[in-house]
Amino acid sequence: MADRLSWVPDDVDTALPSAARLYDYLLGGGHNFAADRELAERFLLAQPNGRTIARLNRAFLRRAVLHLVDAGVRQFLDLGSGIPTVGNVHEIAQRAAPGARVVYVDFEDVAVAHSRMILGDDDRSTVVQQDLTEPDAVLAEVRATGLLDFTEPVGVLAVGVFHFVPPGSDPAGVVAAYRDAVVPGSYLALSQFTSDLQPEEMAGIEAVMRDSANPMYSRTRAEITALFDGFELVEPGVVPLPLWRPEEGAAEEDADRSGILAGVGRRT
């Protein structure tokens, strides 16, 4: 019980699995419960490549952050940041550019509680507990932190999260609200599950995730590309995870089995 209380809010329903804790489990993390692990095993039955996809998505996050740092970005807004694990945005950005600032956004209680623990001594990073589909509330609380200067470019990160935004929540409108809040020269890095790659496996994943707190909605390449409206896509555009600017010497991955499309765009 003491271990639980050290990182789990008292009101968390540990019997209801969440996407953030499932992702933590797929990445080999330890901040998940039996219900999350049971759901993850069903996820892996539907998509046996699930652990590889999680790793590829995390690797894309790293490459995207480093690309933005190279482009001069020194502040980041990480939407749907999830449970912190090795290679968090503030670690990547601050290692490459000391002084970089990061605001994480998530609504999942365990993700927020653990983020607060690891960020306690970092005065350049913080987390706010909000639903990313409520951009006005998110932006108000982010501004209140005083960490991000919205007169300067911001790197908006939405990595592996928009497949949890249902069509009825107007995903394009949500992205547009964040786009309109940042100045030209800002960037959006986004990845999400697609029905264009392994459609049968994707249908199985969607069926499994209906039993969680976070149902999943895949999108086509055209629908994902449309989320970048108002951004100029950087090369190579919207592509399977391992094809987005792979690092030199990286192991060749089967792009058609990566499950997720990713891209980075510059605010025009």
Indicate the residue type of 264. Answer: V
Task: For residue 82, list its beta bridge partners.
Answer: none
Please give the pLDDT value at position 7.
Answer: 53
Separation between Cα atoms, residue 112 and residue 84, nearest integer Å: 9
100, 123, 143, 160, 238 from 103: Cα distances, Å: 10, 11, 10, 17, 25
The more confident residue out of 136 and 86 is 136
Please give the pLDDT value at position 159.
Answer: 97
Please give the pLDDT value at position 134.
Answer: 97
- Asked if residue 84 has pLDDT above 80, the reply is no
Write down the residue that tokens 């391992």 correspond to.
242
Instruction: List, in order, residues 6 or more apart from 101 with CB less than 8 Å away.
Output: 74, 75, 76, 124, 125, 147, 148
Separation between Cα atoms, residue 255 and residue 88, nearest integer Å: 24
Q: How many helices (H) and strands (E) does the chain have?
A: 10, 8
Q: Cα angle at 50 between 48 and 51, to 5 degrees? A: 115
Please give the pLDDT value at position 111.
Answer: 85
Q: Structure pTM?
A: 0.92
Task: State the maximum Cα–Cα separation within the chain, in Å, rounded to a whole number.
Answer: 51
Tell me: the pLDDT tens digits for 93-144? 999 999 999 999 999 888 888 888 888 888 999 999 999 999 999 999 999 9
Q: Are 159 and 77 spatial neighbours (Cβ–Cβ below 8 Å)?
A: no
Q: What's the whole-number mean pLDDT along residues 171-180?
A: 98
Please give the pLDDT value at position 203.
Answer: 96
Q: What's the whole-number mean pLDDT along residues 162-177?
A: 96
Q: Which phi-psi region, left, alpha or beta, contains residue 237 (left: φ > 0; alpha: ψ -120 to 50)?
A: left
Quick one: which H or E segment has residue 137? Answer: helix 135-145
Q: How many CB atoms lie within 10 A of CB 121?
A: 6
* 34-43, 84-93, 181-190, 220-229, range with the lowest pLDDT: 84-93
Beta-strand relationship, 260-267 and 239-240: antiparallel
Q: Which domains does the chain have, with CATH numbers?
A: 57-195+215-267 (3.40.50.150)
Separation between Cα atoms, residue 124 and residue 102, nearest integer Å: 7
The more confident residue out of 147 and 14 is 147
Separation between Cα atoms, residue 132 and residue 178, nearest integer Å: 10
Separation between Cα atoms, residue 3 and residue 251, nearest integer Å: 38
pLDDT band at 9 (very low <50, low <70, confident <90, very high): low
Task: For residue 262, list its beta bridge partners.
Answer: 191, 239
- Asked if residue 18 has pLDDT above 50, the reply is yes
